[in-house]
Structure 1
Amino acid sequence: MHLLSASCVCALLITAALLHRVSGSEIVGLYGETLEIPCNNGAIKADDVLLTKWKYDGGDLLVKNKDQNVSITATDEYKGRVSLAANSSLLLSAAKLTDQRTFTCMMVSSSDIKEYPVSVEINKMPSSLEISDKAEELEIGKRTKLGTCVAQDANPAAEITWLKNNERLVADEKGISIQASVQVDPVTGLSTTSSVLEYSAKKEDTNAKFTCISQHKGLTSSPVSFNITYSTENIVLQVIAQEPLVEGDNVTLKCEADGNPAPTSFMFHLKGEVMKVENSDTYTITNVSRDNSGEYKCSLIDDPTMEATKEVSVKYLDINLSPSGTIVKKAGETLDLTLQIDASEDSKVSWTKDNVKLDKEPKFTKVIFSESGRYECEVTMGLLSRKASFELVVEGAPVISKLIKQRGEDGKHKVLICEAEGSPKPAVSWSINGTSLDESPFVNGKITHKITVVPTANLTVSCTVSNEFGTDSKAINVPSLVCPCIKPGKSQLNNLNQ
C-alpha cells in the first residue's frame, strides 16, 4: 500500500475540521445483479480528488489514492464483491438483501473533505406466481376454498390480488374471503406470500377464468376454471314426434334438467303408469292410438316434486260413407246418403262428381239419368285427409229429350239430331236410311245420335230408342230440298228453308 507523504497527512489532519457530510441519496438495486452505487455525481472534479474511500457501518471497503491502484480493505462478506468504477462509483456484485444499508463515499481534495451517504434498497420479483391447492369443483351458494396463490421469493413481499375474468375480487366476508400470509426465508431474507381465496360460486361462473397478480409489473398466474355444480332448478318435458301425430306413429318423451351434473335417470308418468328410466332421458311410446292422448309427466328420481308436464294429442280422422261402392237405382227412386265423421278436431268436407268439384253435398230425392257418375268426398282436418266414394248408376227406359233438324252447311242436305237418356245404353234407330255422322259417347245415361239425309219430298222421320227397360219414339217433319215446277207459295218457301 502506498502511503500519503507526511506533508499530505499533516494537511489532512489540519483540514479534518473541514469535513462535512452531504445529504444522503437512495438507490434501488435488483437482487442478484451488480449494483452501481454513485459517489459524488460530479460534485468534485476527478482531477481534484486526492483520495476516494468507500465504507459502511461495518468498516471500510476500499480506498484509492490519486494516481494509485484501488486497495480493497474489506475482510467480511464484501471481500471479493466490491470494486471501483472509473467514475468512483462502488460496484457491488451479486446484490442480496443484507446489502440493504447505507454505503458512504468519502472524497478528499486539496481544499475539502466530503462524505456522500447512499441508502440502498434491494428489490426482487417473485420467482413464480401460481395457483395451487385448486378445488375440484365449486358448488353454487357454498363458500369453498378455490385455491392458493403463491408468490415465491420476493422483496418486498408480494401483494396479491385475485381476478375473475380480469375483474378484481374484493373480500366481503360473505361470498368472498381472501386471507394472505407471508413467510421469510431465514437464509435469503426473501418473502413468500400466500393468498387463499374462498369463493361462493354462481351459475354464471361456469367457464369463468380466475387469475392472481402481484404488484410487480406484468406478473400474472395462469388462468384456472372450475366445474360449477348446482342442483336442478328447472325441468322440461319435450314431446318428439312428427306433425301431426296420428294413430300408428311413435312418440318420444324427452326429459331435460338444468342441474350440473345433469340428472341421467328419470321417472316417466304415463297416464297412471310410472316407468323408471335409468341412464337415459327419453322414453318412447310406439304405435300410439287416440287412447294415448292426455297429460304426461317426468320427474327426478331423487326429488319427485321436481316435475314437468306436457299434453300429448294424437290426431285421428275416421269417416264412413254409406252406401258405397257401385249403387244402381231406377230413375225416379230416392238415394239416401250418410257420411259419418269421427275426428279429434273440426273438419271440412268437399265433394266431386267425375273429378269436377261440386258446390255442395249431393242430394238424391228422385234420381235422374244425368246424376249417374262417380262421386267422391274428401274430409280434411289440418294436414290429415280421408276420402270415400261411390259410383251411381241410374237405370230405366230411355226417353228422347230432343229431336231436331238442321240445314247442312252446303244447303244440300239436312242433319237430324236425336238426343236420349236412359240406361243401359239405348239403341238408336231411324225410320229412314241416312248417312250416320256421329254418335256421342254414352256418359251419365245420355247419348246423342246424328244422321244426314237429302229429302227429295216432304218426309216424316221417326227416331226410336230402346233398351231392356223399354222404348221411346218421336217423329219430325222434314221438307223436300227439291224445287217443284210451279212457283212455290210463301209457306212452301218457309218449309224449304227449314
Structure 2
Amino acid sequence: MSSFLGRLARAPDLGITFHAVNEQDSANYQCVLIRSTDGIQTFPEFGTVIKLVVFSPPEILHPSLGQIIFAKEKTEIKINCEVDGKPKPHVIWTKRNQIVSLNSTLQFAQFSKASDGQYICHATNPEGTVNRTIKLLTAESPRIKEKLVNTTVVEGSSVHWHCSVEALPTNITYKWIKDDQVLDFKDTDPKIHVYKNELHITSAKKEDSGWYTCEADNGFPPTVVDRAFLNLLYRPKATHAKIREYILPLNGNVTLVCEVEANPHFHSVQWTKDGRTWRTTSTNEVAIINASPAHNGLYTCQGFNLLGGGDVVEIVVTVTEPLAFSKKPPPTVIVELGESAEIECEGFGYPSPVQYWLRNNIRISSTFLELKNITASDGGLYQCVLANGNDILYQDVDLFIRNTTPQCPSKSQISCQGETGFNISFQPGFDGGYPQSFKFVLMPMETKIVIESEWITEIGSDYWYFIDTKLPFSIHELWLYTKNVKGTMECLLGTYHVCTKVMSPSLIELNSQNLVSWAAVKEADNYVVAFRIGEENEFFEVGKTNETEFRLRQLPNTTVSGLAIGVKALRKPFIDSDYTLYKTSNNEGKNRISIILVIFSILLVCILTYFCRTRRNHIDIKLSDPDPTIVDNEYFSTFQRPPAVDSQYSSWRTVGSDENTIIEGQFEHHGIEEFEHTSMVNEIFRKYYMHNPEYNKVNLIDELRLAKLKQEMCEATLQPIQM
C-alpha cells in the first residue's frame, strides 16, 4: 500500500480519487461498507467491482537506438521489434517511407546486398507513437589486401610484418602463430611483440627462423589465413655445448666431427691442435689413422661461411697405452707374527692410472701397503690394482703369517653330487708353519641340525671331498674349520643348496573346455604348461601357475602330427622336473581305431540288411501272428513289431533303453523297415562310439564326419533292393 501513499483521496458519495495515476495502478477495486451503531458493527456490504485500466504510451525495448546489424548474403534474417505499452501497440517496419512489414518481425528469406539500408520500427497505440531506426548491412568475410612477404635477415636484425586485411564489420580479431604455436603478446619471448595485426621481432636469432601465420576473423566465416617464412642467416654455431672426448687405443682409427651448423652452409673448417694450426677441411670431419701418443691433445675447429667465422668447438683426443707394472709386488709374502710388512706397487699407462689395494673388497688408497704388528687376521689375499678408466690390471699378493692359526682357503669350489650331496674342493690357506687339519660343517637354513665331517689330516692332491646331507630340498651354510697347534680358524665358504629334482606331474588331462589338469606334486611351488610339435623341437611355454590346472586360450589343433602338451613342476632354487607329456597323437590314433570299427560295423549292418530283405521276398510273413517277432542280439536294439491292420498306415510303439520312454506315431508299411535300420545304426554308434571304454573324445571335425557317415549309411539301408 505504500505505492498509494499521498496519491489517494476521498470523493463525494463514497468515491475515491487517484492522483498521479501510473501503470501499476491498473487493478480491480471494490467498495466495502461496514455500519456501526452503538459500537456494534453490522455485516460488511460489498459494492460493485470496478476495473481500473491505465493506458501507457508505446515503448520500444529492442533493437537498440542506432544499432547496426550485419547479415551474410543468402542467409535467412529475422529482426524482432520488441515493444511495451497499453493497449498493446501496433507495430510496422518501413524503409524509405515504404512499409516492408506489417508486424513486429522484419524477415528476409535470403538476405542480399540490395537489402542494405535504414529500417524504422513504428509502434502506435491511443497514447501515442514511437519509432526506432536501425541500419542493416551486408557482412563481408575478411580478405587479404596485401600478402605477407617471406623475409631473409641476418641474425640480430629486426623483422616487422603487417597483416593487411579488410572486412565488414571491421571488428577483426587477429591471431599470430609460429610453427603451430600461438604467439600471445602476454607470454611470448620479450623480443617478439604482437599487437592486433602487427608482429615485430627485435634482435632476431637462429631459433626465430620458421613459418609465421596470421589468422583474421570477424565472426563471419571463413577465416582468412596468410603466411610468411623468416629465414635467419647466421654464422656457424656449435650444436653441442660440452667438450667432446675421443678415447682410442694405440694404433686405432677415429673420425673427429666438428659439430656445427650454419646458414648459409659453411664452406670450410679450420682445425688446430694444442693451439697451433693443424688442418683446413671443406667438411666438418677429419680422420686420425694409426693413432700414436703424438695424437694426444686438445683440438679445436671453427666453421666459416659467407658471414664469417663461427663458434670454436673443442675436442680432446686421448690415445691409450696398455697398463703395466713398473714395480710389481711378489705373489707371496711370508712374515712372522708381530712383524711389519711393506709392499710396494707402481705402474704406468696412458691415461695415467690410479693405483690402490683391495683387501676383502675394501679399497686401500695407497701405492705403498704398510702393515705393522701383524696379527693372524692380517693374513690372506691382497690385490694391487691399476686403473685408468679404459683398462684395469690386477696383481695378487698372498700374505702368509707364521707362528699363528691357519689361514682360510684362498680358493674353493662346491658342486652338487646326487640329490642331497656336495662335492667340495679347496686350496688350503697358509698353515702358519705347523701341520693343519680340516673339518666341514653344514648348517641347514630350515633346521637346527648341524652336519659335521671328521677332521681331515691327509689331503689328497685333488682336494675333493663328498658330503651327503641326506636332506632333499635343503639350503646350507657351508663352513670349513682349519686348525693347528696355535688354534682354529672358522671360514665361511658360502651358502649352497642341494640339487634335488622335483617329481614330474602325473595324470595329465585335457578336456573340451581347454582345461589342462594334473595331479599335485607335493614338493612343487609352481607349474609350467608348454607345448611342442615334434620331439626334436623345444617346448614353448604358454603359462605358469601355482594351481593344478591351467586353461588354454584356445584348444590346440590336435590334428597336427607330433603335437604334445607338457607340464613340469618347479621349486626354486632346485632342479625343475621333466615335462610330463599329454600326446594328442595317441588320442588321435585311438580315435582313428574307433572310426574304423564304426565303419566296419556299418558295413556288417548293410550285409545283414541285404540278407533280411532277400528272405522277406521268398517267405510269407504273417503280420497278424499273435506272437510278435522279437529281435535281440548285440547289433540290434530290442523292439516289438505292431499288429497288422487293413488301413494304409500302421500304428506302432517302441520301448527304448529307458522303459519310461514310449514313442508313438504312424508310418507307411516301409516305415517299419526304416525304423529297424535306423535303430541298428544308432545301436552301433552307441556301442562302439559312445559307450566304448577305450573311446577318447575326438575333435569337432571328426564328430561331424561321423555324423555325416551315420546319415549316409541310414539312407543306404533304406533304399529298395531290386531283385
Both structures adopt the same fold (TM-score exceeding 0.5): no
Larger Rg: 1
Give the TM-score of the pair, scaled to structure 1. 0.42
State TM-score, norm by structure 2.
0.31
